[in-house]
């Protein structure tokens, strides 16, 4: 425990100001402690305190201590002076409020549910470079959800097979095709050849359909290698890059975003690994925190789940995440919400009803698992979108659209 008395950290009358960063925690104290005492230790450890009194603690430093100003059951709000954080440095911020506290013996469980950043901290980051409006302008599609797929199987295809799957999806009517999270540069599918083959067929699909098509290649790797891969994509006419933001790490993500000031490509964020620390509702870091930081750093698109539609467990309702990516936030551009995980065409009406049209709906198995194959699967998805935007029931629309009818018979 630090040499600051409990009243130095527990301040129920404190009113956070514009220069305070406020963190919302769920705290379960360990045996022998109450929530107040556990919260005090959390506030100390995440700001200026240590386990014992120290002679180096000066009065001016004491003023920088965190302040526990609200405790409701196990829900605790702690305010931190802005000066405790280095602007533009996510690793330092998270090392403070999302670091040692998870290993403290004073807590049985602790979860960082939300962070409310100050204007100056938010403005110290780039934010999305392209954002929702820019992506819609690029794709020339403004009045419906954007439609995409992930090449399946997620790993195992060679470069030409991969490109052919993407081409079939574009030809069937989808806007976007992306790599999956664990495809990078394998013995059987080299990154450079995959990019050339897939972008070549993207161009063919655009010429044949008269529509804009995009490919999201996964560049995730060691940071210098990622930079080389992004530049390779750009030099071959690509307009998108995809990164696995959790396994990549915040510092690597910030580096790539900084480099993108020159590249000016759309950055797609895959959240593989997030459930390792956000699935437990009592411990870890919420997807809401990840979403806020991703937007602040500058992700143009982010996976957020499917609002209870599909296969993925979503501890934070996708609508909350979508709002965090789209609300007014000190002038930052909006991040496109990506709904993905076990979707098939019959789910699109419910998805749009819950999340609106400003989403990117991605169908993996729900495209390639169609009885007629990838082209027919893409057609079924596009037909479902047409029905939804016209307010027509899918079963009625399927009477004149066999691809949709086949999809509904298989999955719905």
Residue 371 lies in a domain: yes
Final residue of a domain: which of 123, 143, 173?
123
In a domain, 406, yes or no: yes
Q: Please report the DSSP string for 47-96 in residue order.
A: TT--SS--TT--HHHHTTS-EEEEEETTEEEEEEEGGGS-TT-HHHHHHH
Which two tokens mark 155? Answer: 């790993």
Flag whether the pTM goes above 0.85.
yes
Given a contact cutoff of 8 angstroms between Cβ atoms, the answer to whether 205 and 171 are in contact is: yes
- Residue ranges, the chain, pLDDT below 50: 1-7, 314-316
Same domain, 245 and 175: yes
307: CB partners within 8 A, 6+ apart: 314, 317, 318, 319, 339, 351, 354, 355
Number of domains making up the chain: 2
| Statement to judge: residues 215 and 293 lie in one domain | yes
% helix / strand / coil in the chain, to the nearest 5? 45, 20, 40
Cβ–Cβ under 8 Å, residues 318 and 347 = no
Residues 147 and 108 grouped into a single domain: no
> Which of 123, 152, 182 represents a domain boundary (last residue)?
123
Predicted pLDDT of residue 5: 45
Residue 211 lies in a domain: yes
**Which entry of 268, 270, 274, 370 is annotated as an active-site residue?**
270
* C-alpha–C-alpha distance, residues 220 and 228, integer Å: 11
- 111, 211: one domain: no
Same domain, 19 and 48: yes
Among the listed residues 41, 106, 152, 178, the single catalytic one is 152
Q: Are residues 192 and 275 in the same domain?
A: yes
User: Does 135 lie in the same domain as 95?
Assistant: no
Question: Pick from 372, 383, 347: which is nearest to 362 by CA?
Answer: 347
Of the three residues 101, 123, 145, the one that is the final residue of a domain is 123
Q: Among this protein's residues, is 282 annotated catalytic?
A: no
CA distance 178 to 242: 8
Give the CATH number of the domain where residue 372 resides: 3.20.20.110
In a domain, 1, yes or no: no
Whether residues 119 and 135 share a domain: the answer is no
Q: What is the pLDDT of residue 374?
A: 98
CB atoms within 10 A of CB 353: 11
Is 152 in the active site? yes
Same domain for 175 and 78, yes or no, is: no
- Residue 244, SS3 per DSSP: strand
Q: Is residue 112 located within the same domain as residue 215? A: no
Locus of tokens 């490919």: 215
Range of the domain at 222: 131-411
Are 145 and 242 in the same domain? Answer: yes
Q: Tell me: do 407 and 282 sit in the same domain.
A: yes
Q: What's 188-232 look like in SS3? A: CECHHHHHHHHHHHHHHHHHHHCCCCEEECECCCCHHHHHHHHHH
Residue 252 within any structural domain of the chain: yes
Number of C-beta neighbours around residue 6 at 10 A: 15
């Amino acid at each position: 425990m630090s040499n600051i008395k409990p009243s130095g950290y527990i301040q129920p009358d404190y009113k956070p100001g514009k220069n305070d960063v406020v963190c919302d925690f769920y705290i379960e104290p360990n045996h022998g402690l109450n929530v107040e005492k556990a919260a005090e230790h959390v506030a100390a450890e995440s700001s200026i305190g240590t386990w014992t009194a120290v002679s180096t603690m000066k009065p001016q430093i004491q003023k920088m201590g965190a302040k526990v100003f609200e405790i409701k059951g196990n829900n605790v709000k702690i305010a931190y002076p802005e000066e405790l954080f280095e602007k533009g440095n996510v690793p330092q911020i998270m090392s403070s409020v999302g670091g040692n506290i998870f290993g403290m013996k004073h807590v049985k469980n602790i979860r960082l549910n939300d962070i409310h950043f100050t204007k100056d901290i938010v403005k110290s980051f780039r934010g999305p470079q392209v954002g929702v409006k820019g992506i819609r302008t690029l794709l020339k599609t403004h009045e419906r959800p954007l439609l995409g797929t992930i090449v399946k199987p997620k790993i195992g295809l060679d470069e030409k097979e991969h490109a052919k799957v993407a081409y079939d999806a574009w030809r069937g009517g989808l806007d976007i095709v992306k790599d999956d999270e664990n495809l990078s540069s394998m013995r059987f599918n080299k990154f450079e050849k995959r990019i050339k083959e897939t972008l070549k067929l993207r161009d063919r699909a655009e010429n044949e359909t008269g529509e804009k098509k995009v490919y999201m290649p996964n560049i995730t790797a060691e940071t210098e290698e990622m930079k080389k891969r992004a530049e390779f994509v750009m030099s071959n006419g690509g307009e998108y890059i995809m990164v696995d933001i959790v396994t990549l790490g915040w510092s690597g993500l910030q580096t790539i975003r900084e480099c993108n000031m020159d590249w000016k490509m759309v950055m797609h964020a895959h959240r593989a690994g997030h459930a390792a620390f956000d699935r437990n509702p009592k411990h870890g870091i919420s997807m809401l925190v990840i979403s806020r930081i991703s937007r602040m750093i500058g992700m143009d698109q982010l996976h957020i789940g499917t609002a209870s539609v599909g296969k993925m467990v979503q501890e934070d309702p996708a609508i909350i995440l979508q709002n965090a990516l789209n609300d007014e936030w000190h002038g930052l551009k909006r991040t496109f919400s990506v709904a993905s995980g076990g979707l098939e065409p019959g789910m699109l009406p419910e998805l749009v009803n819950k999340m609106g049209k400003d989403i990117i709906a991605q169908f993996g198995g729900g495209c390639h698992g169609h009885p007629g194959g990838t082209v027919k699967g893409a057609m079924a998805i596009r037909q479902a979108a047409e029905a939804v935007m016209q307010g027509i029931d899918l079963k009625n629309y399927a009477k004149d659209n066999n691809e949709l009818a086949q999809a509904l018979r298989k999955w719905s």
